[in-house]
Structure 1
Amino acid sequence: MQNFEFYNPTKIVFGADTIAKLSTLVPEHARVLILYGGASAEKNGTLAEVRAALGQRHVQEFGGIEPNPSYETMLRAVEQLRREKLDFLLAVGGGSVIDGSKFAAAAALYDGEPWEIMQSFGSAVTAALPLGVVLTLPATGSEMNNGGVITRKSIQTKLPFHSSHVFPRFSVLDPSKTYTLPGKQVANGIADAFVHIVEQYLTYPAGGMAQDRFAEGLLQTLVEIAPRALARPDDYEVRANLMWVASLALNGLIGAGVPQDWATHLIGHELTALYDIDHARTLAIVLPSLLQSQRDAKRAKLLQYGARVWGIDAGGEDERITAAIQRTRAFFESLGIGTRLSDYGLGQEAVDAVVAQLQAHGMTALGEHKKIDLAASRAILHAAL
């Protein structure tokens, strides 16, 4: 096992009817900015509960944060924070709202050009306003980590950032708030959490026995509950398990002390920036092809993954690896998610455009071994046509 440091200060408040606890979680004299996405949080009553719990605190709101939050939109939130001298952010939504809020929390106190935060991948951040979360969409794990992703639409660039300063102080996770989610968003959340786990697990053996078993258990749980999560939207136990698995998938625990990949995400980010495909769906496009491309480098873990997650233990090694990759693709497709570029109306022109973006952004040595160069990325995308 590799050396590691693990730090996660986010307090989790989990369960039904927990939004009322904002009355004690948010400082009494805080000047609060509630950030959210579209109209669903208003329609399903979540925002009303949040407002009631905040009581007599000074509260303002900022809505309209889009899926794949844009730099342009979040700059308007930064302007409001500064102009109104607000000092506490409360993100009400899923990963996009939380990611955007993290960026705004850091940018509000940043002296330079805020895009430098993204260009430095977060290393330029030295302070941030405090942030809390009310989670309504289990998917990204952003409610319990120190990272986010922002898209600058004007230059079609999507970049990740990390900083210990943007860990949420707390996150309220009420599974019942997911009942009204559209099936597409639930499917995306399942796929997103699945790939987050795979990025930290499906690399090469590093002696992380606990991490491996933990990751495999989370993957098995997603496979088990996925059909019920889509078919029975008001099943509390299923939604509770989905919500918690998504948080555990990317709170730093299963990735501690083991190698990590993240090439699927970095290639997928370019697809989102160029063609506005849902983040989770870009992952489903890239991952099966990437696993096929990297089957020799990932051989030992692919065999382990096939046996422990999918129960594939018959046949030769190459046959088992092929079966494990096929089961992965079939899982995404069982969620109603296309796994080919052609499913989204894209062809060879998309391969060329994504590779050009990867080159422009310096993404020329990806993966756990840093050996996925531009030619390899091209081959992965071509195989995904």
Structure 2
Amino acid sequence: MSFTYDYYNPTTIHFGKGKIEAITKHIPKDNKVLIVYGGGSIKKNGVYDQVVKALESYEFFEFSGVEANPTYETMNKAVEVIKENNIDFVLAVGGGSVIDGCKYLIAASQYEGDAWDFLDGSAQVEKALPLGVVLTLAATGSESNTGAVLTKRETNEKRFFHSVLSFPKFAVLDPSVMASLSDKQLANGLVDAFVHTCEQYITKANTSLLHDGYAQTILKGLVTLANDWENRRELVWLENLMLLANQALNGFIGTGVTQDWATHFIGHELTAYYGIDHARTLAIVQPSLLRVLKEDKKDKILKMGTEVFNINEDEEAVIKAIENLYEKVGISTNLNDYEIDDKVIENVLSGLKIHGMTAIGENANITLETSEKILKMSMK
């Protein structure tokens, strides 16, 4: 069987220290701009001042308060700001959460109905405002892909959508702005990028030497950063994390290959019900999922062992190496180490059932019973 794929990515990347001023190359001078950000850390690390200076000749507005898991409720408030001020261009200044929220925002503001329709699959995005990004946290790759994940607080739902209209027009990746991030944020970014790559790699065999090799390069790079954790404040370390996280989910390594994403689907329910950081839900779920599915994934797990970890042992040794990687950067893989209750399995399974996630994974054989087994195994 021949290897085929289609790939399109129109996002212009400006990478490196001092690149924030490049945003003016992409935003027409007569556009009204809405700057969207999170809790205000950009005002402490100098990013806000650089953005405002670059936009000094523009008419711009601000919307702040986007959560670590962006909510439908908060982003709908930003929709009103766009409509009231006839905004032409949205600039997301932050990490994946702010960017995801803005992908919803640019579409919701141009939609007559309830824009949750995009998240539950009952409508497709047909029109959207242009979006630009100043990235402050490397993790999700959202700065140059089509995906967005949002949470609806009212119903404890965490859902996602994709649209080609969600591609940012540009993304500024200045690694130096990450120097002020907490250890928790840096660790989350590293683990997020690692699991993103695994979801596109630890699946079925394929004939593309490039795709497997590229994924392995990303994984090896992230392993190197974890082993060099003590130098996480150095610019070179930050540069590499930002590059690797971007390439992990800009769409290329998943083209033409079978993808998984079951770890994400189960993890989304943990975030929706318990507010656990996205990356940490991935670290909780993935090792147990690999143990339960190790016969299905045996070839790729063993290949990952030899090519990424230099381990020539069985699947369990490779899975243990993955767990050790997460623990090395301070992230527990034990669900019991997080704030949960005795209904955690019941709640997650209920969420999966409601959202139609009853036959997930690359072989569509992860049933609710399998998910239950994975969750029980994660409670060490």
Q: TM-score, normalised by structure 2?
A: 0.97
- Asked if structure 2 preserves the Cα contact closer than 8 Å seen for 1:341 and 1:347, the reply is no
Shift of 1:353: 1.1
SS of the residue 1:127 aligns to: coil
Q: Return the alpha-carbon distance in structure 2 between the equivalents of residues 303 and 371 of structure 1.
A: 21
Q: Does 1:215 align with 2:215?
A: yes
Q: Which residue of 2 aligns with 1:367?
A: 361
Q: Which residue of 2 aligns with 1:384?
A: 378
**Residue by residue, what CA displacement relative to the aligned partner does 1:14-71 show, whole Å, maximum 9, x if unpaired?**
0010111122222211110000001210111111110100121110000000001000
Q: Which residue of 1 aligns with 2:308?
A: 309
SS of the residue 2:14 aligns to: strand
SS of the residue 1:33 aligns to: strand
Q: Which residue of 2 aligns with 1:317?
A: none
Q: Return the alpha-carbon distance in structure 1 between the equivalents of residues 130 and 331 of structure 2.
A: 36
Look up the equivalent residue of 2:186 and give its one-letter code.
V
The within-5 A match list for 1:280-295 is 280-295=279-294
Q: Which residue of 2 aligns with 1:28?
A: 29
Look up the equivalent residue of 1:182 and give its one-letter code.
S
The within-5 A match list for 1:1-385 is 2-120=3-121, 124-228=124-228, 230-314=229-313, 320-346=314-340, 348-385=342-379
The count of aligned residue pairs is 378
Shift of 1:207: 1.3
- Asked if structure 1 preserves the Cα contact closer than 8 Å seen for 2:33 and 2:91, the reply is yes
What is the Cα-based RMSD across aligned positions, in Å? 1.2
Q: Return the alpha-carbon distance in structure 2 between the equivalents of residues 190 and 15 of structure 1.
A: 19
**Structure 1 stretch displaced more, 24-33 or 246-255:** 24-33
- Asked if structure 2 preserves the Cα contact closer than 8 Å seen for 1:23 and 1:55, the reply is no
Shift of 1:231: 2.4
Shift of 1:348: 4.8
Question: Relative to 1, partners in 2 of residues 1:112 and 1:345: Cα closer, same or farther, differing over 3 Å?
Answer: closer
Shift of 1:344: 0.5
SS of the residue 1:47 aligns to: helix
Look up the equivalent residue of 1:355 and give its one-letter code.
L
Q: What fraction of aligned residue pairs are identical, expressed as a percent? A: 47
**Structure 1 stretch displaced more, 169-178 or 24-33:** 24-33
- Asked if structure 2 preserves the Cα contact closer than 8 Å seen for 1:26 and 1:54, the reply is no
Look up the equivalent residue of 2:245 and give its one-letter code.
A
- Asked if structure 1 preserves the Cα contact closer than 8 Å seen for 2:274 and 2:340, the reply is no
Shift of 1:345: 3.7
**Residue by residue, what CA displacement relative to the aligned partner does 1:308-353 show, whole Å, maximum 9, x if unpaired?**
1111114xxxxx1110011111111111001011010436521111
SS of the residue 1:206 aligns to: coil
SS of the residue 1:179 aligns to: helix
